[in-house]
Amino acid sequence: MIITLAGGGSTFTPGIVKSIALRKEELEVEEIRLYDINEERQRKVGVLVDWILHEDLGLDIKLTVTTDKETAFSDADFVFAQMRVGGYAMREQDEKIPLRHGCVGQETCGCGGLAYGMRTIFPMIELIDDVEKYAKPTHWILNYSNPAAIVSEACRVMRPNARIINICDMPIAIIDLVCAALEIDKKDVEYDYFGLNHFGWFTSIRHKGEEVLPQLREYVKEHEILLPSSYLKGMSSLMKSNTDNEDESKQNRHTKGSWYYVWKGVYEIMELFPEYLPNTYLNYYLQQKEFVEHSDPERTRANEVEETREHNLFAGIDRYEATGEIDESTFYAGSHGDWIADLAVALKNDTKARFLVICQNRGAIPNMPYDAMVELPAYIGKNGPEVISRDNIPLFQQGLMMQQLNSEKLVVEACIEGSYEKALQAFTLNKTVPSMTVAKEVLDEMIEANKEFWPELK
């Protein structure tokens, strides 16, 4: 059993590897490979991964660190994809360019997400082709690469037979905090959900079969935020960008800096639309004006991440190389890695465990297009997802989803066809953009910023 992490230099790699290693028996994993195009970054992460596997856990799993595709993918069973095309430098542009024009600046939503998608489409298709060329015929690509909605649509259009499952851990991060807020055990929780990636709603959350959404509504209303009480004790620390001294808030990467407004926004949305629990990313679409107003165009989340997670990880690795001392708090381990590792377990062992995945609709939501890439619960076995169908969704949610879906479809077509007009249509249609004139201003500036990565648009 060989598992390859494509994007091995990611700050999430150590946590994912630890999740894989802790499931060594279930996965029967013999070798883990790290593959990245940034050799020095990956080398450093590889040092920490080697410590996790061989010093911390004392396992006999082989570790291979490479920049060679054939070495990375030959005979691989699973490829976990987590590429960030353009790195944090381009993420910063995705966030800051829209803000300069009064639009939401976010890496996967709005104009930033469209730009990031256009950078990622062709590298993802290249990855699919490389894996198909070298890996086992029974391989699975489990894709975490953002923006997952656009990436999954591009895969549907360009590589419809690829053995790829697109997933996202944000709903799981939400469930983690719901469980902490209500003081219930996540292993006893089952939920229903529908939407597009980063654009959906929880319609039911059940703990040991009992519906807890009413209880959650009361909690959110009382506290005016979706965060556990343990985090609320250090409320002021949530507004800080640098790592604080609150042990509670250090445990979750979603309670830093600008994330405060995201969790606060859940309360604000549910005050007006209380029926469902929204995915936190809906804030950017339903509260565009407010999120622009409390954003700093000169200092966005890309800067926050560089100052915290990025800095802490690589400073910790440098310290380990210099002194031999390791600080486990410098790397993030938790739901992000557990989610993708558990998915691999379900595929390998045909467990039919329930996961939330991005998949082609095919009638699962009757009043959404057949070919829409939607996010729904599914049972996972050796043949992939068995999607759980549902009834028609309400008109409000359907209308929002259709607008977002068509914006994403247009940007994929623009990328494939090299069409400036379709790119402009995609930006204009996106709910975070106030007018076609602003859409053109943002698009034109982004073309210049992305000239190294985007196809030529005519």
At 373, give phi and psi (nearest 5°).
Answer: -90, 105
Of 303, 300, 254, nearest in space to 279 by CA: 254
Of 261, 183, 182, nearest in space to 216 by CA: 182
309 annotated ligand binder:
no
Q: Which of 281, 284, 285, 332 is catalytic?
A: 281
The answer to whether the peptide bond before residue 98 is cis (omega within 30 degrees of 0) is: no
336 annotated ligand binder:
no
d(Cα 244, Cα 238) in Å, to the nearest integer? 9
d(Cα 342, Cα 84) in Å, to the nearest integer? 23
Q: Which of 169, 176, 338, 342 is catalytic?
A: 169
Is the torsion defined by CA of 254, 259, 260, 264 positive or negative? negative
> Are 280 and 263 spatial neighbours (Cβ–Cβ below 8 Å)?
yes
> Are 201 and 400 spatial neighbours (Cβ–Cβ below 8 Å)?
no
d(Cα 428, Cα 431) in Å, to the nearest integer? 8
3-state secondary structure 149-168: HHHHHHHHHHCCCCCEEECC
38 annotated ligand binder:
no
101 annotated ligand binder:
no
Of 379, 381, 387, nearest in space to 347 by CA: 381
Of 89, 126, 160, nearest in space to 305 by CA: 89
d(Cα 390, Cα 388) in Å, to the nearest integer? 7
SS3 253: coil
Q: Which residues pair with 385 in a beta bridge?
A: 380
Of 336, 226, 224, 355, nearest in space to 278 by CA: 226
- Provide the 10 A C-beta neighbour count for residue 444: 12
206 annotated ligand binder:
no
Q: Is 169 among the residues known to form the active site? A: yes
Binding positions for Mn(2+) are 168, 198
Catalytic residues: 169, 281
Binding positions for substrate are 91, 146, 301
Binding positions are 91, 146, 168, 198, 301
